[in-house]
Chain A
C-alpha cells in the first residue's frame, strides 16, 4: 500500500501540472476506489461510471486539496459525494425493473478466496456501515481519515465498524464459516 507522504507528493505535482503524477495517482488510487464503489452495491458498469465521474470531479476541484493534508479523506469525501449524487439521480430516473436486472451482474462479479459471495455478505450491512468497512478495510484508511471523509466523528466511525463486524460475524456463521479462527474475537 502506498504511503500518504507519497500520495501528498504526487498530489502536489498533480496540482503543479505534472501528467506523470496524474497518471500515477489514477493508477494507484483507482483500484481501491473502484472496490469502494462496488462494495456500495452497484453494478460493475455503474462502478466504472462512478470512477470516471469521480476523477473528472477530482480534476475540476484539485485546487481544494491543501498540501500537507492527508490525501485519502479528501479523495473519499469527493467519491462519497459522487456516489450519493449518482444514487439520488438513479433513484429518480431508473425503473425498479431495471435495477433488479442489474443485481445478478453484481453478484457474479466477485468471489472471495474462500469461495463465498462477498456481495451477499456485504449486502447484509446498512449503507453507512458498508461504507465505513470499505474505507477501513479495502482502502486501509485510519479511523480519523474515515471520520474526515464521512463528515462524522471518530466515535461514530468506531461504532459503525463495531456493529458491522458483529453483523458480518453473524452472517458468516450462518453461511457456515463460523469455524475459522474459532475461540476469540481478535
Chain B
C-alpha cells in the first residue's frame, strides 16, 4: 500500500457541510460587517516593542542612577548589552508572532526562555569572578524587586502595543511576553546595579528573566481558562 493509496482513501470521504449552516454563518457575518484596519507588519510591531524595552529600563535607570554602566568598563559593556539587545529583539519578534495567528516561528517560547537565561548566565560567569557571598540574599532581593518593577510596566506597555492581536496559545504568548519583560528588567539592572559579584549577577539578575517568564505564563494560563 503506497502513500498515494492512503491519500486516496482519506480524500474519498463523501462528507459535506450542511449548506443551510453555511448560509446561516454567511448571513450572520454579513449582517455585522464593517471595514477593519489590519494589524501593522510584524517588523513594525517588533520594532515598537523592542523600543519600549529599551525606553522603560533607561527611564528607570535615569531615576535610580547609572552607577552600574558607569563602573562596568567597556570590556564588559560590549558583551553584556549586545547579548541583552539580541535576545530582546528575538523575544520581541516571538511575542509578536505569538499574538498573530499562523505566524512563522523560529523557536518556541520555552526554547527562547532557556536560551536567553543561559546566555545571560554564561556572560555573567565569564566576565565576573568575585565570588564573595556577603549580603547575598538582602541585596539580591532588592535587585529582583527592582528588576520586576521595571518588567511589570514594560509588560503592560507591550500589552498595550499588541492589544489588537490574538494569542491562539495564551500560555505560550504569556511566556514569551514575560521573558521579554524580564530581559527589560535585566537591562535596567545592568544600567543601575553596581554590585558586580558573580553569584549576585548569576542568581538574582538572571532570576528576573525567569520570574518574568513564569509570571507571564501564569497570567496567560489564567486568561486561557476564562
Interface residues of A (CB under 8 A from B): 14-19, 22-23, 26-27, 30-31, 33-35, 38, 48, 51-52, 55-56, 59, 61-67, 69-70, 72-78, 80-81, 85, 88, 109-114, 116, 118, 121, 133, 137-138, 144, 147-149, 151-152, 165, 168-169, 172-173, 177-182, 184-186
Contact = CB atoms under 8 A, between A and B. Distances in A.
Contacts of B25: 26, 30, 51-52, 55
Contacts of A55: 25, 28-29
A182 B2 CA distance: 7
B37 A63 contact: yes
Nearest to A182: B1
Contacts of B225: 88
B134 interface: no
Counting chain B residues whose Cβ lies within 8 A of the other chain, the interface size class is 35 or more
13 contacts: A17-B36, A34-B16, A59-B29, A63-B36, A70-B102, A74-B100, A81-B168, A113-B14, A118-B13, A151-B169, A169-B1, A172-B1, A185-B3
A64 B164 contact: yes
Contacts of B224: 85
A148 B104 contact: yes
| Chain A interface SS verdict (over half) | helix
Contacts of B168: 77-78, 80-81, 151
Contact of B9 (A72, A77, A118, A148): A118
A186 B38 CA distance: 43
From B5, B28, B224, residue with most partner A Cβ within 10 Å? B5
A110 B14 contact: yes
Contacts of A35: 13, 15, 17
B4 interface: yes
Contacts of B6: 165, 168-169, 172
A51 B7 CA distance: 24
B5 A77 contact: no
B159 to A, nearest CB: 15
Given A78-B168, A138-B11, A151-B105, A26 B22 contact: yes
A69 B42 CA distance: 11
Which 3 residue pairs are nearest across A and B when measured between Cβ atoms? Answer: A186-B2, A73-B102, A74-B102
A133 B10 contact: yes
A55 B50 CA distance: 33
A172 to B, nearest CB: 6
From B6, B30, B39, residue with most partner A Cβ within 10 Å? B6
